[in-house]
Amino acid sequence: MAAPETKRKFVLASRASQLAQVQTNIVRDALAKLHPDTTFETSFMATGGDKNQSQALYLLGGKALWTQELEVAMAGGTVDLLVHSFKDVPTVLPEGCEIAGVIERESPLDCLIVKQGAPWKRLEDLPDGSVVGTSSVRRIAQLKRHFPKLVFKDCRGNLNTRMAKLDAPDGPFAAIILAKAGMVRLGWGSRITCDIGPPTALHAVSQGALGVEIRSNDEQARALCRSITHWQTEWSCFAERACLRVLEGGCSVPVGVYTTLTEETTEGGARRAKLHITGSVTSLGGETHVQHSIEAHVDSVQEAEAIGAKLARVLIETGAREILDDISKDREARIQQAKETNEKVDA
């Protein structure tokens, strides 16, 4: 779908990390290739999630940590398009904002990276008691089910920081787990020890995809975004996001997904696909795990979203609600404990 050319300048904004800048440049270059007569510039800023590196994401709240400052800038008109790692985007956006573009997905899988020079090839190879770093409660919950003798420890920071923590000679980590897509986009694929995927672990919602957010009343920006959208990725990710939205909303919870979408031939050339989506919810300690899959033919992104929402309802009916309620109580208790600790220190 070709967007109309315009002399207006568009500013693409994202977080200031190296990966965020690389991803923003991917989107900028895709737009510039299709619209050579339009000017595209970039702008980068630190968000709340970047500024607070001391607390676990689990206790910090929703994914708006990564997007709020950017959305304020866009609402004020200083930037026009926000480029996100789609997995970091809340499932409910502020009024007046929408995801208008979705770039073709890199691998959605997680991956294992071991300390430089270490001999291990898989999680199964790590000695009992080895410390594995990750900032994701989803990864910890799922992997505790399969590797109860490993120790999982929070590891915050951008990819450069986490890789430095891993390789530090006196550092605690034998290995870390990251999204494979980020490693590939930064050109660090050679450091990947192995992929981690089904049946061991399902990935995060929309992991590996880039989402482009705009002001809902900006028709020119929407047209540009549609011109670079990979509809197969869009349908898959919107199905996954609908599942998460029904299950939880925005906080960091151990929800995993795995989706395949197979394009089908139809008379008249209309878009149609077979969507297979698996979702899971796991207790924080890995003791309880609920998983289900749905396969259906879909003719639009809205139908894909409906399937994702249906999957969430099945998970809720088969035990996910109890797991999520327990997680919510645990988070509230830990937040209260942290507040009391801070109050005692201040006193």
* Number of Cβ atoms within 10 Å of the Cβ of 62: 17
Query: Does residue 274 sit in the same domain as residue 345?
Result: yes
Helix (H, G, I), strand (E, B) or coil at 119: coil
Task: Give the pair of three-digit tokens for residue 6.
Answer: 């315009």
Query: Does residue 278 sit in the same domain as residue 146?
Result: no
Query: Does residue 143 sit in the same domain as residue 181?
Result: yes
* Domain termination residue (choose one: 174, 196, 218): 196
Q: What is the pLDDT of residue 339?
A: 73
Predicted TM-score (pTM) of this structure: 0.89
Query: Does residue 8 sit in the same domain as residue 80?
Result: yes
Task: Give the pair of three-digit tokens for residue 293.
Answer: 């899959």
Count: domains in the chain: 3
β-partners of residue 39 are 9
Residue 332 lies in a domain: yes
Catalytic residue check, 88 = yes
Q: What is the pLDDT of residue 259?
A: 98
Q: pLDDT tens-digit profile of 130-185?
A: 999 998 999 999 999 999 999 999 998 889 999 999 999 999 999 999 999 999 99
Query: Does residue 97 sit in the same domain as residue 214?
Result: yes
Q: Among 122, 254, 127, 129, which Cα is nearest to 177's?
A: 122
CATH number at residue 322: 3.30.160.40
Q: What is the pLDDT of residue 54?
A: 46
Contact criterion met (CB below 8 Å) for 88 and 63: yes
Counted residue by residue, the chain has a size of 347
Q: pLDDT tens-digit profile of 311-341?
A: 999 999 999 999 999 888 888 887 777 777 7
Q: pLDDT tens-digit profile of 109-122?
A: 999 999 999 999 99
* Domain termination residue (choose one: 196, 219, 244): 196
Query: Does residue 186 sit in the same domain as residue 293?
Result: no
Query: Does residue 275 sit in the same domain as residue 298?
Result: yes
Q: pLDDT tens-digit profile of 219-241?
A: 999 999 999 999 999 999 999 99
Q: What is the pLDDT of residue 3?
A: 55
Q: Among 220, 113, 131, 213, which Cα is nearest to 171's?
A: 131
Contact criterion met (CB below 8 Å) for 208 and 108: yes
Query: Does residue 221 sit in the same domain as residue 91?
Result: yes
Residue 141 lies in a domain: yes
> In a 10 Å sphere around its CB, with 0-12 CB exposed, 13-18 middle and 19+ buried, how is residue 21 labelled?
middle
Residue 166 lies in a domain: yes
Q: pLDDT tens-digit profile of 75-93?
A: 999 999 999 999 999 999 9
Query: Does residue 217 sit in the same domain as residue 186?
Result: no
Query: Does residue 186 sit in the same domain as residue 327?
Result: no
Q: Among 293, 284, 288, 289, which Cα is nearest to 259's?
A: 293
pLDDT band at 188 (very low <50, low <70, confident <90, very high): very high
Q: pLDDT tens-digit profile of 240-292?
A: 999 999 997 545 689 999 999 999 987 778 899 999 999 999 999 999 999 99
Residue 204 lies in a domain: no
In this predicted structure, which of 96-110, 304-318, 331-345 has the lowest mean pLDDT? Answer: 331-345
Residue 88 lies in a domain: yes
From the candidates 50, 80, 88, 326, which is the catalytic residue? 88
Residue 202 lies in a domain: no
Residue 98 lies in a domain: yes
Query: Does residue 10 sit in the same domain as residue 52?
Result: yes
CATH number at residue 169: 3.40.190.10
Domain that holds residue 263: 231-347
Residue 266 lies in a domain: yes
Query: Does residue 296 sit in the same domain as residue 269?
Result: yes
